[in-house]
Structure 1
Amino acid sequence: MSTSTPDARIALYYAPPSTSPWWHAGCEWLGRDAETGEVMETPLVPTLAQPVASLTAAPSQYGWHGTLVPPFHIAEGHEAEDVLSAALEWAKRVSPFSVPLQAVEMGRFVALRAAQPAHDEAIRDIAASALHALASLRARPPAEDIERRLASGLTPRQRALLHEWGYPYVLDEFRFHMTLSNSIDSAPLRAEIRSVWQARGETLGPLPFHGAALFVQEHRKAPFSLWKRLPFAHAGVLA
């Protein structure tokens, strides 16, 4: 995959280990393995009013992940290998842990979030450290992206973060989540997806927060692909 084209973007995401049931379950739900490129048949869920594939087209484009540093163009004078080097060094300073999850509604979306505030705060701190570690490698977003965000009804704090960091939902406004659906108007349908994943999460157990990954998008209409995995310190011992 190309990381050097002008339109290419790179992102630092949490991704479950490839050997984890969490990775397979999420990829299957989205119908795509972002690491191998395999297109997967989405599960048949009789209780849902629509096929899973029709409910997950948007998150499928991004792959199964939880954002730590949102997608960005690489700053002039740098290349993808610089991002990889900085990200690997950052990952060495992060300790792995396990995170019980809960399925929640975030506006019109359904997502998985940390069930305990302490874990939510820990991941927020990890994301902040990643943002600072990659700060010099991130180009400022195009003006049209900034204008689009400004028109979306941001709070004063989010507007300030957008101007400083190019994205409004970082640092104290960061909320770790793993998106499970498109934007869905039907409240009963959102509730059913939440119910499906609450049960599935209880079966899968705590999420192994053992590493991150760099995902790459070659151009705005292309799907994101997992480029490089970044194991956290001592994560291999826990695998």
Structure 2
Amino acid sequence: MRYAICFTPSASDPLTLVAANWLGRNVYSGEMVDPPAIRGLGIHEIAFHTAVPRRYGFNGTLKAPFRLAEDMSEAALLRDLMRFSGTVTPFEIPRMEVARLGGAFGLVPSEPSQQMHFLAASLIQAFDHYRAPLTEAEIERSDPDSLSAAQFANLHRWGHPHVMDEFRFQMMLTGTVGPADLPRMERVLRDFFEPALAEPVPVSNIALMMEEGTGGPFRVHSLHPMGKVSARKIA
């Protein structure tokens, strides 16, 4: 079993509901959701292209999935994450947009979010001692030969190549899409998600995600409100 520390909107946020409809699974309950009816895109196509992000759930990863170190416990992780979240001031991402990410698609901030970048870096440093060392198989799955020198160093220091200066906040919506289908998929995603992206996205919770079994889907284990109790706003 693995954990991940992520951002995902609240369970009732319109973006959460739209994403659950698109991916076919609710990241909070773990329940499957009927796929949307989209002209020109069959339900089997949607299921195929969303298979990978459906497993991981709708989230923006801040600390990538990790196994707990032998001397660490879930209870201690929860306690420290609660304490950590209380030290972080809530903020907003003014606007999110659909973007091509290599051969896949996801949601990204229209302008880079320095606050999200700082949050991710702080979490990685604060919780690295909870992470069990990578196995040789885990290192190989990261395809180390394809990494830059900085990414390779990150992999061995922090357990993931795309952290610190290599970090880019993104919430994945598809796996790899064939070149011929990229324009069509981009149009569909923009039409489907843009109504839910009209307002700023509040970042007021840190989510602990948990993998169900070995290789199973991830779901939200717990939400940890950001900011001091006396200063929190009701979402």
**TM-score, reference length from structure 1:** 0.89
Q: 1:165 aligns with which of 152, 158, 163?
A: 158
1:108 and 2:108 equivalent?
no
Structure 2: how far apart are the matches of 1:23 and 1:223? 17
SS of residue matched to 2:61: strand
1:150 is displaced (CA, Å) by 4.0
1:202 and 2:164 equivalent?
no
Residue 41 of structure 1 corresponds to which residue in structure 2? Answer: 34
The correspondence of residues 158-197 of structure 1 with structure 2, limited to 5 A, is: 158-187=151-180, 189-197=181-189
Deviations 1:146-192, CA, capped at 9 Å, x for gaps: 123244500011001111111101111011000000111234x2333
**TM-score, reference length from structure 2:** 0.90
1:27 and 2:20 equivalent?
yes
1:45 is displaced (CA, Å) by 1.4
- Tell whether the 8 Å contact from 2:99 to 2:107 is kept in structure 1 after alignment: yes
1:33 is displaced (CA, Å) by 0.9
Deviations 1:110-161, CA, capped at 9 Å, x for gaps: 01100012x2x22111100111121111111111111232445000110011
Amino acid at match of 2:205: G
The correspondence of residues 1-239 of structure 1 with structure 2, limited to 5 A, is: 8-48=1-41, 51-99=45-93, 100-117=95-112, 119=113, 121-151=114-144, 153-187=146-180, 189-204=181-196, 205=198, 206-233=200-227, 236-239=232-235
Structure 2: how far apart are the matches of 1:34 and 1:186? 29
Distance 1:172 1:229, change over 3 A: same
Return 5+ residue gaps in structure 1 as ranges: 1-7
Amino acid at match of 1:111: G
- Tell whether the 8 Å contact from 1:103 to 1:195 is kept in structure 2 after alignment: no
SS of residue matched to 1:51: helix
SS of residue matched to 1:208: strand
- Tell whether the 8 Å contact from 1:91 to 1:232 is kept in structure 2 after alignment: yes
1:193 is displaced (CA, Å) by 2.9
Deviations 1:56-101, CA, capped at 9 Å, x for gaps: 0111001111100000000111111111111111111222222111
Distance 1:41 1:163, change over 3 A: same
Structure 2: how far apart are the matches of 1:152 and 1:54? 28
Distance 1:87 1:190, change over 3 A: farther
Return 5+ residue gaps in structure 2 as ranges: none
- Aligned-pair identity (%): 31
Amino acid at match of 1:192: R
Aligned residues: 229
Structure 1: how far apart are the matches of 2:104 and 2:117? 20
Structure 2: how far apart are the matches of 1:39 and 1:107? 27
Structure 2: how far apart are the matches of 1:26 and 1:160? 34
- Tell whether the 8 Å contact from 1:94 to 1:232 is kept in structure 2 after alignment: yes
1:207 is displaced (CA, Å) by 1.9
Say what the alpha-carbon RMSD is for the aligned residues.
Answer: 1.8
Distance 1:152 1:222, change over 3 A: farther
- Tell whether the 8 Å contact from 1:45 to 1:51 is kept in structure 2 after alignment: no
SS of residue matched to 2:75: helix
Amino acid at match of 1:108: G
SS of residue matched to 1:237: coil
Distance 1:45 1:166, change over 3 A: same
